[in-house]
Structure 1
């Protein structure tokens, strides 16, 4: 099998191919009539017993945020033709994390597991909300515990433990879950690289960027100019795009009545 580096033309063609799909998905998530949950579908049943923390609502919020971040990356790279050294990776990281969370919520075959994951998603939201707002006097431990109690009220009839709900989740958990379930997407390494860029980690920034070296007056010290390229950012962008397609596929399957 050939391991030749793709030509610039091939890279541009692949970007344009995924850009069309990203634009179409951006239109879809903006349409309130799209992704309807059909009565009698698995997701309809999930929502009925998880109200007011409907599984489909949590998954849809993750999908919208994931598509929004991905579309922003596409717009920056292709439409504005601005290729920052790091920013596009941060956008792709946000997309990967949200899409992986959506897949983690929707993919389990058992209803209880889908509901548990949706409740854990809400628990993480409430915990981070309290951490942010408590110092401002806009939240307190009592209100936080009250919100968790409402999640417990949904979990209890399904024999989902409060401990599981309160644990929330980590982005690394949902990305690794997606890596195991979707080997053709393999989002783990792209997510790790994008996270490295988002945090300015040298292993990612120096490892993935194009470098120009300039001598300085200090012995053994070089100035380095870092730039990116369409071929380099295509690697995480393709994984993110494929994950988006997988999320939409499982969402539509769960939202339709089995034949």
Structure 2
């Protein structure tokens, strides 16, 4: 075993502990999600007025699922950091947190009810479009159900006073850009999401970026082999960004489901280093 391998193992042990500390710092999020009961929506809250406008679809139900999915991914990261050594698996789960928590932020962040409802219906339409695309690959006929949902969507648009153009899902790239609270900086959500997405797809640039070279290998015609090890410092950095986004979603959820007037505000703070 080389000195560089030993040093990287020691380095990773330190950052495994920091990952656990970061997760412990956000224990309240785990406790909330673990209740398995609906978050309360107060009578004079923004979300109640949204329910009144579109009674057949509740954004709070969608957001609660997004938060629960994010927390489950975070729990998986905690378990992976405790029991094994993995180069890439953490980043696949972190990507899941990015996309679910960013969706929650996107649904909740606007003070304009028309925008909030347009985004809710856009998410709903995308959900059923993906549902139909998946089942079309099977022998299960969901055409009638899909048509029924499309009719229901048109009614909800009418209830909300929206046009189809107001309810278009932008895709995750544009969605992430929209909610990035630190764009064009080293702590950018979009930057972190692109890195984790690259790892999830096995992209060479991304897998090299999240590992550390410890043993240079022989040169070949198309490049050079490289002995690499996981870098848990990068895992912790990406997880910090994920928790920042998830915490933002949690605060926005509280803002939207609390009766007006209230003084709850969302303030961006750096996560523990």
TM-score, structure 2 normalization: 0.82
Deviations 1:142-196 (Å, cap 9, x if unpaired)?
432321221121111322112443x3331112211111x4559631111000000
Give the equivalent residue in structure 2 for 1:4.
Answer: none
Alignment of 1:87-106 (within 5 A): 87-106=89-108
Aligned to 1:63: 67
Partners of 1:71 and 1:48 lie apart in 2 by 35
Aligned equivalent of 2:30: 26
Specify whether residues 215 and 34 from structure 1 end up closer, same or farther in structure 2 by C-alpha distance, changes over 3 A only: same
Name whichever of 27-36 and 154-163 sits farther off.
27-36
Residue of structure 2 equivalent to 1:50: 54
Q: Distance in 2 between matches of 1:14 and 1:214?
A: 28
Stretch moving more, 64-73 or 86-95: 64-73
- Distance, in Å, in 1 between the alignment partners of 2:148 and 2:123 is 16
Specify whether residues 170 and 11 from structure 1 end up closer, same or farther in structure 2 by C-alpha distance, changes over 3 A only: same
Give how far 1:72 is off: 1.2
Change beyond 3 A, Cα 1:199–1:15: same
Measure, in 2, the Cα distance between the counterparts of 1:219 and 1:249. 53
Structure 1 unaligned blocks of 5 or more: 1-6
Please state if 1:161 is matched with 2:188: no
Asked if 1:118 corresponds to 2:117, the answer is no
Contact 1:72 1:91 (C-alpha < 8 Å) held by counterparts: yes
SS in 2 for 1:35: coil
Does structure 2 conserve the Cα–Cα contact (< 8 Å) formed by 1:70 and 1:91? Answer: yes
Structure 1 residues 161 and 18: CA distance shift in structure 2, 3 A: same
Given that 1:130 and 1:139 are in contact with CA atoms closer than 8 Å, whether structure 2 keeps it comes out as no
| CA RMSD in angstroms, aligned pairs only | 2.5
Q: Equivalences for 1:1-259 in 2 at 5 Å?
A: 11=15, 14-33=18-37, 35-77=39-81, 79-80=82-83, 82-165=84-167, 167-179=168-180, 181=181, 186-213=188-215, 215-216=217-218, 222-259=224-261
TM-score normalized by structure 1?
Answer: 0.86
Q: How many residues are matched? A: 249
SS in 1 for 2:111: coil
